[in-house]
Chains A and B, each alone.
Chain A
Amino acid sequence: QKEVEQNSGPLSVPEGAIASLNCTYSDRVSQSFFWYRQYSGKSPELIMSIYSNGDKEDGRFTAQLNKASQYVSLLIRDSQPSDSATYLCAVNGRYGNKLVFGAGTILRVKS
Chain B
Amino acid sequence: EAGVAQSPRYKIIEKRQSVAFWCNPISGHATLYWYQQILGQGPKLLIQFQNNGVVDDSQLPKDRFSAERLKGVDSTLKIQPAKLEDSAVYLCASSSRDDRGKGYTFGSGTRLTVV
Contacts and interface: CB of A to CB of B under 8 A. Distances in A.
A4 B42 contact: yes
Interface residues of B, number: 26
A72 B48 CA distance: 25
Contacts of B42: 4, 88, 90, 101-104
Interface string B77-115: 000000000000101000100011111111111000000
Interface residues on A, range: 20 to 34
A104 B43 CA distance: 9
Contacts of B106: 43-45
Interface of A: 4, 8, 31-32, 34, 36, 42-46, 49, 51, 88, 90, 92, 95-104
25 contacts: A4-B42, A8-B40, A31-B101, A32-B101, A32-B102, A42-B108, A43-B91, A44-B91, A45-B106, A46-B105, A49-B102, A88-B42, A95-B56, A96-B48, A96-B56, A97-B31, A97-B100, A97-B104, A98-B45, A98-B55, A100-B45, A101-B42, A102-B42, A104-B41, A104-B42
Q: Which 8 A-B pairs have the closest CB atoms?
A: A101-B42, A43-B106, A32-B101, A34-B103, A103-B42, A43-B109, A46-B103, A101-B43
